[in-house]
Amino acid sequence: MEDLRPKKEDSDPSTQIPHDEFADKDQNLVEFSPSDPADPRNWPAWRKWSVLIALTIANFSVIWNASGYTTVQTAFASDFQTSDEVAVLPLTLYILGLAIGCMILAPLSEYYGRTPVYLVSFLCTALFLMATALVEDVAGFMILRFIEGLCCSGPVGLIVRVANIGGSIADMWDHHHTGLPLSIYSLTSAGGSSTGYFVFSFIAQTHGLRAVFWAMMGFTGGYFLLLCVFLKETRHSVLLRRRMNKLRKETGNDKLYVPEEMQKQNIKQLFRLSLARPFHLLFTEPVIIFCAAYNGYLFGLTFLFNGAFNLVFGEMGYGFSTIGVGLSNLGVVVGVIFGPITHVWQERYYLKKVETTGGKNIPEARVQLSMIAAVVFPASLFWFAWTTYTSVHWIVPIIASAFYGWSFYTLILMTFMYVEDTYKIYAASALAGVCFVRNIVGGVFPLFGTQMFENLGYRWAGSLLGFLALLLMPIPFVLARYGRRLRKRSPWAREHMDDLEDDERETVHERV
């Protein structure tokens, strides 16, 4: 099988240095010094956090553009005179656009930088949302929703290097200290759908379908302006290449170069790797298969529950209005908010383990809290399912949804961090595969969620979801006990194992 790891010959010839010039490496090498203020990891804390908070807030709009539509899904069916099944498609097409766009746009951040990808993505999304608010035919509406997903995938598709936003975190914080900023960013993945339904439920009930899309456009345009003010380029390779080009012009020294891994790659090669390597890892690496399965199921439930909550708490259940259903989503939000609070313990545990091992890379120290969440997750689903009788007070299933929100947050954060720690320089491809599965499942689940709850009944439909969660429950326990063994067997992960004995390390180099 073709080796999908980076090769030096794939780099742009204009930035490569012939072998006979390596003697000049020290004086011609352009790189960040340990205290270089231009290095994003040396930026003052206020700048790092201003970039992260801006990206986190902006990324809510990506999820809101999906969940906001579910508040007017019935209105779409009425206004465009379609069936309820067809009315689900704008949501599915948007999420499928995210899945495909993640794979297509990922290489562009390496070639042009993260900032242009962020800004162009949000600007184009705002323009297409405006078009969606005006379009009059079903086909045009569907096409625009898919394009909006493609555009939004710039910010979402690129997490801890999944593409862009997570990559920005890795750019600004060293490896052992990405846990806290990533825990803040992960609020968007875990709480975006519920908060989006809550926010847009007010607009949906009082103003209808078109107003929701005008509001989406307003939010996205506002976030675009926010990014224009606070966003700074963080990608190290882009910053170093800019410095190299500037110094070449100023000094006339064309021998200046950046480290090999920072050199500009051929755009064709970047696209080849972004499309081939994630799928290769997805089908050959047990760690990625486990994390993709969990991630996909969790993300699928976020949009399936938009429809399920409408059934359970809406006119066919507790009789809530659209706004009332939106308020019922706050149970999930409360659970998600507790996620970063409890993650403080997990982060302290991890850092203590790192300290006791002399700074070694130990991804297994990331999964302790997720083992508890893996048990709480199916329990919360069974709790929710069997308390949906209208004779039971509505607060009881909402409390169950809070435990679901906490476990969702904890588990999805674990999958991101474990994959990042395991694959490091290949984490972009590894997480791209995970997020591709996540978005595909997220797009498919709404297609059958409502029908499943209607045909099986709320109790047994919810129980089916709980049984599937039970099948996934062993994953954190397997990673905790056998994770190192799985990493050792992987030629991709073994490169980043710094706790191997000398004889084991020699074997790694022979295989790689």
Instruction: Tell me, yes or no, whether 293 lies in a domain.
Output: yes
Q: Number of folded domains in the chain?
A: 1
Instruction: Tell me, yes or no, whether 429 lies in a domain.
Output: yes
Instruction: Tell me, yes or no, whether 383 lies in a domain.
Output: yes
Of the chain, the percentage scoring pLDDT greater than 70 comes to: 86
Residue 460 — very low, low, confident or very high, per pLDDT cuts 50/70/90?
Answer: very high
Instruction: Tell me, yes or no, whether 33 lies in a domain.
Output: no
Rounded to an integer, the average pLDDT of 155-178 is: 60
- The tens digit of pLDDT for each residue in 295-353 reads 999 988 988 888 888 889 988 888 899 899 999 989 999 999 999 899 889 989 988 88
Instruction: Tell me, yes or no, whether 464 lies in a domain.
Output: yes
Instruction: Tell me, yes or no, whether 409 lies in a domain.
Output: yes
Instruction: Tell me, yes or no, whether 86 lies in a domain.
Output: yes
CATH of the domain at 78: 1.20.1250.20
- The tens digit of pLDDT for each residue in 384-427 reads 999 999 899 999 999 999 999 999 999 998 988 898 888 877 77
Q: In this predicted structure, what is the pLDDT of residue 11?
A: 43
Question: What residue numbers bound the domain in which 362 lies?
Answer: 40-233+265-511
| Nearest partner of 370 among 322, 307, 417, 303, judged by Cα | 417
Instruction: Tell me, yes or no, whether 241 lies in a domain.
Output: no
CB-neighbour burial class of residue 83 (10 A; exposed 0-12, middle 13-18, buried 19+): exposed
- From CA 353, how far away is CA 361, in angstroms rounded? 10
Question: Burial code of 347-382, b = ≥16 C-beta within 10 A, e = fewer?
Answer: beebeeebeeeeeebbbbbbbbbbbebbebbbbbbb
| 29 bridge partner residues | 257
